[in-house]
């Protein structure tokens, strides 16, 4: 059908041709994160005819994303980013396959996801996840296309390409903090440029043309247009195989700290502790802590500023599942001492009954 | 003259993107200690490049005039 007409202007490039276009069609690329970087990565990969694109992200579109995440419409605020980006791609190029994966990348799903693709693109805004992507790429032997932003500067590199150097060879110290866009501020153009450079690395790898940014990090400053490349070598003192991976990321999965209901008994009258109920307004049994507040989980993202990030906060819901999600959310917002009450309101009510206490 | 380039959060601390120091016979580790003292990088983590090449953390050698040292922290935005 109209395939060759659609791609004609790139097929006539001697570096691409019909053979190159076929390579693009056969390629499978997984993009982690559907934010600012992905907003230029996705349309350019899709338009060029990359045959299968997976997108992993569990966020919904917020109004404050739109100035840089230019593939989303104002009318889509509140919808899942992966669903909207799939929609955008299918309108741009209906000939390719898109897998919208509404999940948060973790030690649990990374390996099985990565195994289905040829190239993994890091379009995240979180250093911890970057190490996770790097390590899962090592286990599954996939190249990782890295991109990252700090205000008006960006970094691009390709790790683990043909057994080349990795993110850990460049930045061995994983216990670092660096500001993400929400905290540091960002302009759409800088993420757009860096995302475009990432898409370019993906296309070059698929077509086997040019020089891949392997063993090199490109640093781009959009304020003065300076670009520099720095070389780095593979360091041999880090081993990551499937076993090591599972061991390492098993621990982190349990990062949400829980507190048992029996431990709660001693804290009921502690004025320094706040009890946060994240159930909806109509849910019972009610527990009337003297120092308690109710913010339903769905409102927490907008209302967390009512809380003091330095206070000890015990979060509960009905059974202890939503409260874990709330703890994760608060930890992301730099809350230092939040725990989830295991078993939730039901377990607390039961214990209070046993202890013949009422609240 | 040795030129030092700063990026990302490191440049926020130094409040400049590059500077030149007049110094002879200074080693890389001495230079890094001097900069740490001057700017108090504290918990900031960064990799160090000399003449566009990242060097392992503990590497030490005497810097030559006209060497360019760069401090590169990881970025996190996206």
Domains delineated in chain B: 2-72 (3.10.20.30)
Query: Cα–Cα distance between A147 and A38 in angstroms, integer?
Result: 10
Which is higher by pLDDT, A251 or B36? B36
> Is there a contact between B52 and A186 if contact means CB atoms under 8 Å apart?
no
Spell out which residues of chain B touch residue A151, defining contact as CB-CB under 8 Å: 8, 77
Contact A148, B78 (CB under 8 A): yes
pLDDT for res A260: 87
What pLDDT sits at residue A349? 87
- Share of residues in chain B with pLDDT > 70 (%): 100
Token pair, residue A148, equals 């990252």
User: In degrees, to the nearest 5, what angle opens at C-alpha A297 toward C-alphas A357 and B78?
Assistant: 140
CA angle A109, A112, A114 (to 5 degrees): 100
A35 contact residues in B (CB cutoff 8 A): 78
In percent, the amount of chain A with pLDDT more than 90 equals 70
> CB distance B77–A171 less than 8 Å?
no
Interchain proximity B77–A191, CB inside 8 Å: yes
Q: Count other Cβ atoms within 10 Å, centred on residue A253.
A: 10
Separation in Å, CA of A174 to nearest CA in chain B? 9
Which residues, 6+ apart, have CB-to-CB distance to A345 below 8 Å?
A277, A279, A283, A285, A287, A316, A317, A318, A319
Classify the C-alpha dihedral B12-A308-B78-A108 as positive or negative: positive
Hey, are the CB atoms on B54 and A230 less than 8 Å from each other?
yes
What is the pLDDT, as a whole number, of residue A177?
63
- List, as own/partner pairs, every contact residues A101-104 make where C-beta atoms lie below 8 angstroms and the sequence separation is at least 24, other chains included: A101/A54, A101/A55, A101/A56, A101/A57, A102/A57, A102/A58, A103/A56, A103/A58, A104/A58
Peptide bond into A285 cis (omega under 30): yes
pLDDT value at residue A251: 61
Q: Which residues in chain A show pLDDT less than 50?
A: 1
Asked whether the beta carbons of residue A36 and residue B7 sit closer than 8 angstroms, the reply is no
Tracing tokens 């709660």 back to the chain, one arrives at A264
> Is the distance from CB of B28 to CB of B63 less than 8 angstroms?
yes
Which of B5, B41, B59, B75 has the most A C-beta neighbours within 10 Å, making it the best mutation to test the interface with A?
Answer: B75
pTM of the predicted model as reported, rounded to 2 decimal places: 0.77
Q: Please tell me the predicted confidence (pLDDT) of residue A2.
A: 64
Instruction: Quickly list DSSP for A160-221.
Output: SGGG---HHHH----S-----HHHH---HHHHHHHHHHHHHHHHHHHHT-S---BTEEEEEE
Phi, psi of A204 (to 5 degrees): -65, -40
Complete domains list, chain A, with CATH = 3-253 (3.40.50.720), 258-354 (3.40.250.10)
User: What residues of A are in contact with residue B73 (Cβ under 8 Å)?
Assistant: 150, 176, 178
> Residue A231: how many CB atoms within 10 A of its CB?
13
Report, as an integer, the average pLDDT of B35-57.
92
Residue (of A48, A59, A278) closest to A180 by Cα position: A59
Alpha carbons B78 and B75: distance in angstroms, whole number: 9
Query: Which DSSP string do the residues of A301-333 spell out, in sequence order?
Result: HHHGGGS-TTSEEEEE-SSSSHHHHHHHHHHHT
What DSSP string describes A263-303?
HHHTTTT-TTEEEEE-S-TT-SS----TTEEE--HHHHHHH
CB-CB under 8 Å, A150 with B73: yes
pLDDT of residue A333: 87
Between B58 and A35, the more confident residue is A35
Tens-digit pLDDT profile for residues A86-144: 999 999 999 999 999 999 999 999 999 999 999 999 999 988 899 999 999 999 999 99
User: Would you place residue B23 in the very low, low, confident or very high pLDDT band (cuts 50, 70, 90)?
Assistant: confident
Classify the phi-psi angles of A12: left when phi > 0, otherwise alpha if psi is within -120 to 50, otherwise beta.
alpha
Does A230 sit within 8 Å of B52, measured CB to CB?
yes
Nearest Cα of chain B lies from the Cα of A257 at a distance, in angstroms, of 25
* Pairing status of strand B53-55 against strand B47-50: antiparallel
């Amino acid at each position: 059908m109209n395939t060759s007409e659609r791609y004609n202007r790139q097929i006539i490039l001697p570096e691409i041709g019909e053979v190159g276009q076929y390579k693009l069609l056969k390629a499978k690329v997984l993009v982690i994160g559907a934010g600012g970087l992905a907003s230029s990565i996705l349309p350019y990969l899709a338009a060029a005819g990359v045959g299968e694109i997976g997108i992993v992200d569990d966020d919904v579109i917020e109004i404050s994303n739109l100035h840089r995440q230019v593939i989303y419409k104002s009318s889509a605020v509140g919808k899942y980013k992966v669903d909207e980006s799939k929609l955008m791609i299918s309108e741009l190029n209906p000939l390719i396959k898109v897998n919208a994966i509404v999940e948060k990348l973790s030690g649990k799903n990374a390996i099985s996801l990565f195994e289905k693709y040829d190239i993994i693109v890091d379009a995240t805004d979180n250093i911890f996840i970057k190490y996770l992507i790097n390590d899962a790429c090592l286990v599954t032997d996939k190249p990782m296309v890295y991109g990252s932003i700090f205000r008006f500067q960006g970094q691009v590199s390709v790790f683990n390409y043909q057994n080349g150097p990795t993110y850990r060879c460049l930045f061995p110290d994983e216990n670092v903090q660096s500001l993400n866009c929400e905290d540091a501020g960002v302009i759409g153009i800088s993420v757009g440029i860096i995302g475009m450079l990432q898409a370019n690395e993906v296309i070059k790898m698929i077509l086997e043309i040019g020089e891949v940014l392997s063993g090199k990090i490109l640093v781009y400053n959009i304020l003065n247009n300076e670009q520099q490349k720095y070389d780095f070598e593979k360091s041999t003192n880090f081993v990551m195989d499937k076993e090591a991976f599972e061991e390492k990321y098993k621990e982190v999965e349990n990062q949400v700290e829980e507190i048992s209901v029996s431990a709660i008994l001693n804290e009921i009258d502690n004025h320094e502790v706040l009890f946060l109920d994240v159930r909806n307004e109509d849910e019972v049994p009610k527990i009337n802590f003297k120092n308690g507040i109710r913010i339903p989980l769905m409102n927490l993202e907008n209302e967390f500023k009512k809380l003091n990030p330095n206070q000890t906060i015990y979060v509960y819901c009905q059974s202890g599942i939503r409260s874990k999600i709330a703890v994760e959310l608060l930890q992301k917002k730099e809350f230092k001492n939040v725990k989830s009450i295991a078993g939730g309101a039901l377990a607390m009510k039961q214990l209070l009954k046993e202890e013949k206490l009422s609240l | 003259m040795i030129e030092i380039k700063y990026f990302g959060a490191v440049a926020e601390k130094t409040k400049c993107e590059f500077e030149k120091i007049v110094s002879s016979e200074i080693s890389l580790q001495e230079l890094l200690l001097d900069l740490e003292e001057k700017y108090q990088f504290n918990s900031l983590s960064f990799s160090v490049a000399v003449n566009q090449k990242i060097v392992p953390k503990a590497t030490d050698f005497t810097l030559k005039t006209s060497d360019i040292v760069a401090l590169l922290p990881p970025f996190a935005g996206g």
